Structure 1
Amino acid sequence: MTFSRYGALCTEVYDHTKKVGQSIGGDIEYYSQRLRDCGGGRLLEAMVGSGRIIVPLLEAGLQVDGVDASPDMLASCRKRCEERGLLANLYQAELQELELPNLYDAIIIPAGSFLLIEDREQSIAALKRMYAHLKPGGRLMLDLFLPDANFELGHFAGTSVFHMQDGDLITMEGKLIETSFLHQHKVSLIKYEKWRDGALIQTELQRFALRWYGVHEFKDVLESCGFTDIVISADFEYGKVLTSDKQQYVYEAIRP
């Protein structure tokens, strides 16, 4: 049994449920369009995961590197790129310790993944490290979301069953173990079990934490890190005004 953030079984489920090129709410279309405005320079997808977004960006001819803390996610991303004949520099690192050899015209963090940095100070350190990896005039783009009305019920409550292509079954059972409005976070414990021919062959535990920011709070955080010209857009439509707490929204911020 392992206790991890994004281990082997979690990655299998992620790959099974989030296919390469599968747009969530229009995020791939949004980032593709916005990145085309960066003049064809070098780009970075932070918290790249297993390649859902970087692969179609590479296929569109963009020069994109990727970084993630999970070796299992990176292995899947690398495999997906190789299967398609795509070349990408993929790095394993925590964002708060980011030290890459290149500067970038833009850095993106899709799918609300920035909220996975549970500790506030570490999230600010991550923003500062990304600021340091942007060229002057470079752009940080990331989307976030707010907790829903079921904040205290747990996003992963109950058991899900996934039928994998090789005939194996993976069950995923989640339990909410901590919530705090004061500290703006919640923590779930997720148990993955892999079954083959009726026998349990692998188990994995994942501590899954999310930390939220208020819309204007996060704008202030970006400004405190040195970013300017911050634009907040709702529903992956650039410049659309955010009017509901149920909408997903994207920040774009510039390193002067």
Structure 2
Amino acid sequence: MDPADFYTGIVAELYGPLKSVTQDPEPYAAFVEQAGTPALELGCGDGEPLLELRRRGMDVDGVDSSADMLDRLRRRAAAESLPVTLFHQRMEALDVPRRYAAVYLAGPTFNLLPDDATALSALRAIRAHLAFGGTVLIPLHLPAPTAEKDVGRARTATAPDGAELRVSVVAEDRDEHTRTQTTLLRYERYHPSGSSVTERPWVLHWYTRDGFRTLAAVAGLDIAEVTGPDGRPAAADADHLHVRLRPAD
């Protein structure tokens, strides 16, 4: 997954349906079925896969930091007469009234937390919202640098109103010491009624396995299992992980 793919979903509220990543609901449905309900999806965005789990009758709430994304989710749910409980909060400041048997993120949203301190705050908040015996699922991603040939190359899509939408990587800075990759993305919209160009820096922060284990332990969580997205044991050099955590006590 490259940064342009990953972030088009985040800025969909500005530029329409440029989202190129839709999370497969099956791993998360299986996780909730195993861990139990109620469940909480962190970074639920505009409803994938939360809405599919609600269609299956699962008791799943959602949290997201984008009010626009949550508004779209509510409209989608209302169109299907699906009741949803949603909270407009950042995961590192999570404070909701329920405790959950299952807490999960769908896709590597945790990598959007900019540093270890913020990640630790999020893990502590997650721990505080777990019911007794609860389980957490956190996908993690080791981002690859954008290939030089792809810098400046635009991905395109067409909006329902006919506008041409483009997203491209303008520049990128990667710091192995702080484990951060900052990608400057350009979003363009062209339409006879008006056009716009916006550039935004997006930061991905990644973790070593030992480093993430240490953060989890400080937050009161133990790593119970590390697999690939397919549920099989993850290879030592895997760049996509599904990490399951349980309360340390």
Please classify the TM superposition score into its range, dividing by the shorter chain length: 0.7 to 0.9
Matched-pair contact (CA < 8 Å) for 2:40–2:104: yes
SS at the partner of 1:77?
A: helix
Residue segments in structure 1 that go unaligned for 5+ positions in a row: none
SS at the partner of 1:123?
A: helix
Pairing 1:231–2:231 present: no
Residues paired across the two proteins, number: 239
Matched-pair contact (CA < 8 Å) for 2:223–2:243: no
SS at the partner of 2:18?
A: helix
Equivalent residue letter for 1:8: E
- 1:143-170 CA-to-partner distances (Å, cap 9, x unmatched) read 112133x367598752111112332221
**Which residue, 224, 233, 236 being the options, matches 1:241?**
233
2:190 matched residue in structure 1:
195
SS at the partner of 1:210?
A: strand
> CA 1:144–1:156 in structure 2 vs 1: closer, same or farther (change >3 Å)?
farther
Tell me how large the CA RMSD over aligned residues is.
2.3
1:97 matched residue in structure 2:
93
SS at the partner of 2:135?
A: strand
**How far apart are residue 113 of structure 1 and its match?**
0.6
Pairing 1:142–2:138 present: yes
5 Å matches for 1:27-106? 28-39=25-36, 41-106=37-102
In 2, Cα distance between equivalents of 1:75 and 1:156: 33
**How far apart are residue 225 of structure 1 and its match?**
1.1
**Which residue, 180, 186, 190 being the options, matches 1:185?**
180
1:221 matched residue in structure 2:
215
Equivalent residue letter for 1:146: L
**How far apart are residue 55 of structure 1 and its match?**
0.9
1:9 matched residue in structure 2:
14
In 2, Cα distance between equivalents of 1:63 and 1:234: 25
**How far apart are residue 18 of structure 1 and its match?**
3.7
SS at the partner of 2:245?
A: strand
Matched-pair contact (CA < 8 Å) for 2:138–2:243: yes
Equivalent residue letter for 1:109: L
In 2, Cα distance between equivalents of 1:242 and 1:52: 24
SS at the partner of 2:237?
A: coil
**TM-score, structure 2 normalization:** 0.87
In 2, Cα distance between equivalents of 1:249 and 1:233: 6
1:120 matched residue in structure 2:
116
Residue segments in structure 2 that go unaligned for 5+ positions in a row: 1-9
> Percent of aligned positions with the same letter in both sequences?
22
- 1:110-164 CA-to-partner distances (Å, cap 9, x unmatched) read 211100001220111011011101112111101112133x367598752111112
